[in-house]
């Protein structure tokens, strides 16, 4: 039933405007959530192109370790829609999801006007999230935007003390615009008066002036997070394990967001120490990092992003849901750094696909030119052929269309072997069978191009 609310790709147009936010407010009011209720909910709101979900999870863990009750709303999910909602670091239970789903669904259905549609998929889940976190009396809700910021369904808050903007880049250009300046304008739309807005360091130079202008327009204090290595780390950072450069950027932003929220009531004391840097933005404080903070960062688990799974002694999966040009480039570098450098008895396999109308040819060019891939395995983003579980179905593209796209991709690849399979399960089983029959070969399997694809592979591996 929830999946029937999916928005079709063809319906996503640029700048839907404030009408959409008016709809969110209407649906929230019908569910008993007023503007005043939202004003009382303490929120850390995060937008961005890359790393906003990771930033939210790092921030969640830092605050959990300090004893706060945290609500977390992120997207998309990998296996189950429940993953989008966490309370105190744990995915909500089946019972809690069912309770809030039917509470919102039945209320909106009973109060629907003639000819009026129910909210679209993400808008519905946003209404659920706000109602849930208010009812569950969290100390702070960490809210990740869906697409954009200015007109995103989550952006119905009038008061937000702390705003985060992760790394910016190109994605959802049909909705957000074709330039980095347009995208930065949209993402910075979540800025609020009297808030502190912190942006990740190393933002594209084209976005700096837009971010500064928008901060003035929105009456927020704009800060730039410092590089990860600038903090006064307790002992050293080696205990954190291997953090990729993007994750270091995300972790630094999360440290800033968590500390800004904790110190929100005395912000003028620490803001006056912030000096303008080379970017033209004020530089955020170098907060002290203690042993507890390091433990929190080390304990972060964010599946499907720079994740390595060693299945058998000769079979390892490297999973990263990269789905933009910039994130594919970072994924390629990550894979080069973490996989075995030896060329002896190694077989490198790429399991790949993309959702919607993403530029698969550019993605493949990056991955195949920078890595020694022996074979590419393509399949529709369908976990099982006979699987009819609703939240795994992509209603934008039917199965036949996805299969045609796989063969089109196959025909575009001429530098290595390519095979097409009918489902994610069939693809993973093929790899497992190969590794079982050739135990003298070490199979390294990179899975990327889509978080839905990564989620399907994780589901098969866990079953």
How far apart, in Å, are the Cα atoms of 314 and each of 374, 375, 435? 16, 17, 7
Length of the chain counted residue by residue: 463
Q: Which two tokens stand for residue 335?
A: 């894979």
Q: Could you give the CA distance from residue 311 to residue 428 in angstroms, rounded to a whole number?
A: 12
The DSSP-derived string for 39-87 is HHS-EEEEE-SBSHHHHHHHHHHHHHTTT--EEEE----SS-GGGGEEE
Q: Which residue has the tokens 């889940």?
A: 125
The DSSP-derived string for 250-278 is HHHHHHHHHHHHHTGGGHHHHHTT--B-T
Q: Which two tokens stand for residue 106?
A: 């039945």
- The answer to whether 144 is a known ligand-binding residue is yes
Give the residue from 51, 37, 142 showing the smallest Cα distance to 88: 142
- The answer to whether 320 is a known ligand-binding residue is yes
Residue 303 and residue 243 in contact, taking contact as beta carbons nearer than 8 Å: no
- The answer to whether 213 is a known ligand-binding residue is no
Give the residue from 118, 178, 174, 175 showing the smallest Cα distance to 149: 175
- The answer to whether 299 is a known ligand-binding residue is no
Q: Which two tokens stand for residue 98?
A: 């069912």
Q: Could you give the CA distance from residue 169 to residue 181 in angstroms, rounded to a whole number?
A: 10
- The answer to whether 214 is a known ligand-binding residue is no
Give residues with Cβ within 8 angstroms of 172, minimum separation 6.
12, 147, 148
Q: Order of strands across the sheet with 307-312? A: 307-312, 315-320, 442-448, 346-352, 375-378, 417-420
Residue list for the binding site for Mg(2+): 75, 144, 172
Residue list for the binding site: 75, 144, 172, 305, 320
Residue list for the binding site for ATP: 305, 320
């Amino acid at each position: 039933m929830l999946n029937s609310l999916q928005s079709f790709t063809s319906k996503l147009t640029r700048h839907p405007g404030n009408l959409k936010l008016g709809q969110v407010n209407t649906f929230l009011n019908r569910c008993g959530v007023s503007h005043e209720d939202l004003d009382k909910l303490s929120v850390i709101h995060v937008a961005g192109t890359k790393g906003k979900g990771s930033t939210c999870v790092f921030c969640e863990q830092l605050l959990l370790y300090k004893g706060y009750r945290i609500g977390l709303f992120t997207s998309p999910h990998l296996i189950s829609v429940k993953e989008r909602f966490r309370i105190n670091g744990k995915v909500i239970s089946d019972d809690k999801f069912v309770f809030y789903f039917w509470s919102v669904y039945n209320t909106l259905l009973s109060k629907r006007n003639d000819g009026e549609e129910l909210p679209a998929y993400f808008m519905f889940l946003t209404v659920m999230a706000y109602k849930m976190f208010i009812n569950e009396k969290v100390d702070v809700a960490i809210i990740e935007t869906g697409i954009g910021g200015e007109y995103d369904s989550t952006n119905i808050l009038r008061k937000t003390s702390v705003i985060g903007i992760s790394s910016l880049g190109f994605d959802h250009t049909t909705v957000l615009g074709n330039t980095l300046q347009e995208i930065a304008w949209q993402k910075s739309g979540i800025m609020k008066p009297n808030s502190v807005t912190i942006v990740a360091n190393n933002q594209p130079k084209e976005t700096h002036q837009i971010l500064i202008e928008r901060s003035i327009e929105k009456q927020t204090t704009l800060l730039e997070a410092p590089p990860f290595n600038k903090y006064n780390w307790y002992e050293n950072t080696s205990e954190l394990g291997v953090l990729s450069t993007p994750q270091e950027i995300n972790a630094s932003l999360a440290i800033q967001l968590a500390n800004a929220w904790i110190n929100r009531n005395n912000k003028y004391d620490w803001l006056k120490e912030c000096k303008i840097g080379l970017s033209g933005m004020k530089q955020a404080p170098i907060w002290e990092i203690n042993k507890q903070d390091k433990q929190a960062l080390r304990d972060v688990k964010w599946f499907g992003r720079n994740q390595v799974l060693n299945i058998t002694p000769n079979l390892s999966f490297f999973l990263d849901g990269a789905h933009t040009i910039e994130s594919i480039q970072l994924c390629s570098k990550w894979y080069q750094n973490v996989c075995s450098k030896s060329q002896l008895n190694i077989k490198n396999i790429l399991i790949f696909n993309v959702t919607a109308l993403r530029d698969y040819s550019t993605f493949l060019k990056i991955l195949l030119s920078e890595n020694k891939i022996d074979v590419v395995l393509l399949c529709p983003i369908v976990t099982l052929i006979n699987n009819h579980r609703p939240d795994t179905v992509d209603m934008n593209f039917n199965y036949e269309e996805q299969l045609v796209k796989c063969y089109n991709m196959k025909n575009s690849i001429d530098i290595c072997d390519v095979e097409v399979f009918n489902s994610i399960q069939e693809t993973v089983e093929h790899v497992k069978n190969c590794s079982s029959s050739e135990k003298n070969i070490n199979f390294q399997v990179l899975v990327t191009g889509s978080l839905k694809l990564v989620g399907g592979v994780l589901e098969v591996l866990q079953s």
